[in-house]
Amino acid sequence: MTLALLDNTPVALNSAPIQSVVGRQYNVLQAANGINGQFGSVTSNYAFLGGRLDYAATGVALNIEQTAAFNSVAQTPNQAAVATAAEQLGAGNAVYENLLLTQTPASARDSFQQLSGELYPAIGSVLINDSRQIRDAVGERLGASVFGSEGNTAAQDNVWIKALGAWGKTDSRDDTAGYTTSLGGLLAGVDGNVADDTRLGVVAGYSDSSLSMGSGTHSRASVDSYHLGAYVGHEIGALRLTLGGAHSWHRIDAQRDVQVGGAAGKQKSKHDAQSTQVFTEAAYRIRLQPATLEPFANLAYVHLNTDSFTEKGDAAALSAGSDNRDAV
């Protein structure tokens, strides 16, 4: 006997409890004069469901039961963690019930990846990486010319503007999806010499970052960021030293299109984050006529704090507490 449920319509991913398919009983055969013999076995068309035949004097009943744990088909730690969490939701939960109706291990793994919410750690990584835009702009600004050593004076060069533009791609790995990113924006600064060899300034700006995650996750996010920072540069002969700091405010708008078995849903969140960075750089100018070389070394510390949030959507919506990340 092959188990193929007639009523295997995907369950809408709403929050209301539903009747579980596990524990249902179907009468498959009744005979007033009694039953002779038995079926050989029950073969299932589902990854996690099976059937057990109960024989009575005048009938045969098929009982539906879960025959495999969700994490039994997982191939990565992330998939296993999501599978375990989904199973703990229990009978009657829409996510749990749709996973039960999954027909192949491969489609179950696809669902685990979409449920994982790995978009959010990726957003944090992007914001930390994008913080370099301020450091790079300040480093470019505090080149040798702004100290007047190459013919410029502070009066000629007090205000500066830099347009931001960057594109990137992170390849997928065994346990994480790949994604592409882009960034655009504008930084503006004003500075001046407080001594012949020391320059002090402030910088402010806006940037817009976007992230699109592949590998079947159907996730994307955009981030509006506002930046404010200060910096100081000091020259000792051919040696240039830079010290700076900046604080950024981020508004995150994220969306995940989730497919669990045959049911689909949209999860959205809007939440805030803030990042703080301090950075330093040392550069040494070497004149090789007609060119000038300036080897440098730099160091930065970035702290990112992300507020807690709860997605708006359906039974697949995620909640996350506040998160703190540090990078050097």
Over residues 113-132, the pLDDT tens digits come to 889 889 999 999 999 999 99
Domain of 142: which CATH number? 2.40.128.130
- Looking at the fold, whether 103 and 124 belong to one and the same domain comes out as no
Question: Quick check: 13 and 94 in contact, CB under 8 A?
Answer: yes
- Looking at the fold, whether 239 and 145 belong to one and the same domain comes out as yes
Find where tokens 């900046």 sit.
246
- Looking at the fold, whether 135 and 161 belong to one and the same domain comes out as yes
Q: In what order do the strands lie in the sheet with 49-55?
A: 25-30, 59-66, 49-55
Going residue by residue through the chain (328 aa), what tens digit of pLDDT does each one get? 555 554 555 556 655 566 788 888 888 888 877 777 777 778 888 899 888 888 888 888 888 888 899 999 999 999 999 999 999 998 888 899 899 888 899 999 999 988 988 999 999 999 999 999 999 999 999 875 666 554 444 445 789 999 999 999 998 887 788 999 999 999 999 999 998 889 999 999 999 999 999 877 789 999 999 999 999 999 998 899 999 999 999 999 999 998 887 788 899 999 999 999 999 999 998 888 888 888 889 999 999 999 999 999 888 899 999 999 999 9
3-state secondary structure (DSSP) of residue 125: helix
DSSP state of 11: P
Beta-carbon-side half-sphere exposure of residue 265 (alpha carbons within 13 Å): 25
Q: Specify the number of domains making up the chain.
A: 2
- Looking at the fold, whether 93 and 52 belong to one and the same domain comes out as yes
What domain range is 71 assigned to? 2-115
First to last CA, the chain: 61
pLDDT confidence of residue 306: 97
pLDDT confidence of residue 153: 46
Burial class (CB in 10 A: 0-12, 13-18, 19+), 173: exposed
Q: Which amino acid is at 92?
A: G
Q: At what angle do helices 105-115 and 77-89 cross, to 10 degrees?
A: 90
pLDDT confidence of residue 324: 96
Domain end call among 90, 115, 140: 115
Q: CA-to-CA distance for 152 and 192, rounded, in angstroms? A: 12
